[in-house]
């Protein structure tokens, strides 16, 4: 009997300990989740000189690390200091120095990962960060294939990256503590050209830097960007940005150093789980991701995504973006077609399409061309954008796309190769939609067919 009681007590104790252990784990996990980006970097930097200005690089090309994780050449840093001093002195915007474009051409970012450096789990985090950037923007992080300029995920002291493209293989350094998705997303953000949100030139309207809580020697980490380096592109300040540091960045007395003027965001800054809506919006703007889309007015803060659909914010920081619901507000109260809608299909996407078509909007409205294809009888517009001919590449190489005489033929047969397509339809030389039947009947097209036939025989 006694033995049975001891057994039960032991069992209960074991169960209790097990439950406590689980609770403790959950608690620790919750605490880890709540760390701000700068706190994680601070820990990762523990064994290195996170407060030092001059960090590394060869003597001919010394590199400075500022704001914990931004690498900048010493020359550039000095230039920036001069600009800021002058701006402060004169109160004028600096325009003289044209900062080189640090954008990646065609939004392609070749990358490599130093072998034998990351565990399987860490590689998963890197790949998830890459997937996030590639999914939400038109940036294309893809394995390096001989390109001179690329990013390299590697080990390093702390977490760090240059801002924008440098022109050779540039490091995204990830010490052990940095190998989590949101930190990697942040460092990749620098590599494509993002600065820290709290360094924005307009930040004083959104945060107050409590300098009394920051030691003087590290105050340089709170400098605002000079106006000539501003790349906000109309995107409002974003407390939820993955590029925003937390409330106690560089605090040595535990007090707040970055105070949000909107108090609702005091505990939100620095805790982004990944790209925010405005991060995505900014990257899309920086790299002109909707460059080939028709002009559209998206509702509210919405923007046109790379798929030419309006993107709107959600309330879920883990899934911050969605296709806008409904249509953009029309500027008129009459029954005119809306100026945008989030879909593309070869049928009517609005119940009023036939009515609008009857009113003659097919000829004048881009909306109608995209969303009322059935009523406007342009259902095959997308198909007309394909090459119909066999030798388009060769003809293009010989300049046939740009020779007026052959233009009709090339439009009918090699529209894609010649780049004559726009928004799923063909355009005539004057920009108006084109009818394929009339093209094929044209004399120049027939002549061209003969030329191609002769060329094939030869
Ligand atoms: Zn950073």
For each of the chain's 458 residues, which pLDDT tens digit applies?
556 655 665 666 565 565 555 555 555 544 445 799 999 998 887 655 555 565 666 666 788 888 999 999 888 888 877 877 777 777 766 554 555 579 999 999 999 999 999 999 999 999 999 999 999 999 999 999 999 999 999 998 889 999 999 999 999 999 999 999 999 999 999 999 999 999 999 999 999 999 999 888 788 889 998 877 777 899 999 999 999 999 999 888 889 999 999 999 999 999 999 999 999 999 999 999 999 999 889 999 999 999 999 999 999 999 999 999 864 443 333 345 555 443 344 676 665 667 667 767 776 665 666 666 777 777 654 445 666 665 667 667 767 777 665 666 667 666 777 877 765 455 544 444 444 333 333 334 444 544 454 454 44
Packed helices 181-192 and 120-136: angle between N→C axes, nearest 10 degrees: 50
36 CA to middle of ligand 1, Å? Answer: 12
- Residue 450's pLDDT is 47
Determine the 3-state secondary structure of 432 from DSSP.
coil
DSSP output for 295-325 = P-PPSTT-EE-TTSSEEEE-S-TTS-EEEPS
Residue ranges of the annotated binding site for Zn(2+) are: 186, 190, 196
Q: Which residues pair with 312 in a beta bridge?
A: 322
Residue ranges of the annotated binding site are: 186, 190, 196
- Residue 340's pLDDT is 47
Residue 379 · residue 346 · CB < 8 Å: yes
**Gap between the Cα atoms of 167 and 64, Å rounded:** 18
Both tokens of residue 449? 């067919």
Among the options 42, 67, 187, 197, which is catalytic?
187
First to last CA, the chain: 104
186 CA to middle of ligand 1, Å? Answer: 6
- Provide the b/e sequence for 394-419 (b: ≥16 CB within 10 Å): ebbeeebbeeeebbbbbbbbbbebbe
Both tokens of residue 120? 């399987």
Residue 259 · residue 266 · CB < 8 Å: yes
234 CA to middle of ligand 1, Å? Answer: 21
Q: Which residue has the tokens 């949101």?
A: 182
91 CA to middle of ligand 1, Å? Answer: 28
Neighbours of 58 (CB within 10 A): 7
Whats the size of the chain, residue-wise?
Answer: 458
The DSSP call for residue 262 is: S
**Gap between the Cα atoms of 161 and 70, Å rounded:** 5
Is 187 known to be catalytic?
yes
194 CA to middle of ligand 1, Å? Answer: 9
66 CA to middle of ligand 1, Å? Answer: 9
Q: Which helix (H) or strand (E) holds 450?
A: helix 443-457
The DSSP call for residue 361 is: G
- Residue 418's pLDDT is 80
Residue 177 · residue 184 · CB < 8 Å: no
The DSSP call for residue 414 is: B
Between the alpha carbon of residue 202 and those of residues 224, 249, 319, the distances in Å are 8, 19, 27
Structure-derived torsion over alpha carbons of residues 151, 152, 156, 160, reported in degrees to the nearest 10: 20
**Gap between the Cα atoms of 243 and 189, Å rounded:** 8
Of 433, 326, 440, 425, nearest to 380 (Cα)?
425
Q: Which residues pair with 425 in a beta bridge?
A: 422
Neighbours of 432 (CB within 10 A): 10
370 CA to middle of ligand 1, Å? Answer: 41
Residue 111 · residue 104 · CB < 8 Å: no
**Gap between the Cα atoms of 442 and 446, Å rounded:** 7
Cα three-residue angle 83-84-86, rounded to 5 degrees? 65
Q: Which helix (H) or strand (E) holds 134?
A: helix 120-136
41 CA to middle of ligand 1, Å? Answer: 9
Of 366, 369, 367, 375, nearest to 348 (Cα)?
375
Longest Cα separation, the chain: 108
Of 246, 238, 245, 315, nearest to 280 (Cα)?
238
């Amino acid at each position: 009997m006694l033995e049975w009681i001891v057994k039960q007590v032991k069992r209960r104790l074991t169960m209790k300990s097990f439950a406590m252990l689980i609770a403790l784990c959950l608690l620790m996990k919750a605490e880890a989740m709540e760390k701000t980006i700068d706190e994680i970097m601070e820990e990762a930097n523990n064994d290195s000189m996170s407060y030092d200005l001059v960090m590394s690089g060869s003597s001919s090309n010394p590199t400075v690390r500022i704001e914990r994780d931004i690498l900048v050449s010493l020359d550039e840093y000095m230039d920036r200091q001069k600009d800021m001093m002058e701006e402060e002195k004169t109160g004028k915007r600096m325009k003289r120095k044209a900062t080189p474009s640090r954008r990646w051409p065609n939004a392609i970012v070749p990358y490599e990962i130093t072998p034998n450096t990351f565990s399987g789990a860490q590689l998963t985090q890197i790949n998830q960060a890459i997937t996030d950037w590639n999914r939400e923007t038109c940036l294309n992080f893809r394995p390096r294939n001989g390109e001179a300029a690329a990013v390299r995920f590697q080990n390093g002291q702390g977490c760090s990256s240059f801002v924008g493209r440098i022109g050779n293989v540039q490091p995204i350094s990830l010490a052990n503590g940095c190998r989590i998705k949101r930190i990697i997303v942040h460092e990749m953000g620098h590599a494509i050209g993002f600065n820290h949100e709290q360094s924005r030139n307009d930040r004083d309207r959104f945060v107050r830097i409590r300098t009394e809580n920051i030691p003087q020697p590290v105050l340089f980490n709170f400098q605002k960007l000079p106006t000539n380096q501003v790349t906000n592109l109309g995107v409002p300040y974003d407390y939820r940005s993955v590029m925003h540091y937390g409330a106690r960045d560089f605090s040595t007395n535990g007090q707040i150093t970055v105070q949000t003027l909107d108090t609702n965001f005091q505990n939100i800054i620095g805790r982004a789980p990944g790209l925010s809506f405005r991060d995505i919006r900014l990257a899309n703007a920086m790299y002109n991701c909707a460059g080939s889309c028709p002009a559209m007015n998206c509702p509210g803060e919405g923007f046109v995504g790379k798929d030419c659909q309006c993107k709107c914010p959600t309330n879920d920081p883990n899934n911050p973006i969605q296709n806008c619901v409904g249509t953009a507000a029309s500027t008129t109260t009459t029954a005119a077609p809306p100026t945008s809608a989030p879909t593309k299909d070869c049928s009517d996407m609005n119940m009023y399409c036939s009515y609008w078509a009857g009113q003659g909007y097919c000829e004048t409205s881009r909306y109608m061309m995209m969303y009322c294809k059935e009523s406007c009888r342009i259902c095959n517009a997308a198909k007309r954008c394909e090459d119909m001919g066999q030798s388009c590449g060769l003809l293009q190489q010989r300049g046939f796309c740009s020779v007026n005489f052959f233009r009709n033929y090339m439009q009918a047969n090699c529209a894609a190769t010649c780049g004559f397509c726009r928004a799923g339809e063909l355009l005539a030389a004057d920009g108006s939609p084109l009818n394929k039947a009339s093209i094929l009947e044209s004399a120049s097209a027939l002549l061209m067919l003969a030329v191609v036939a002769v060329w094939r025989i030869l």
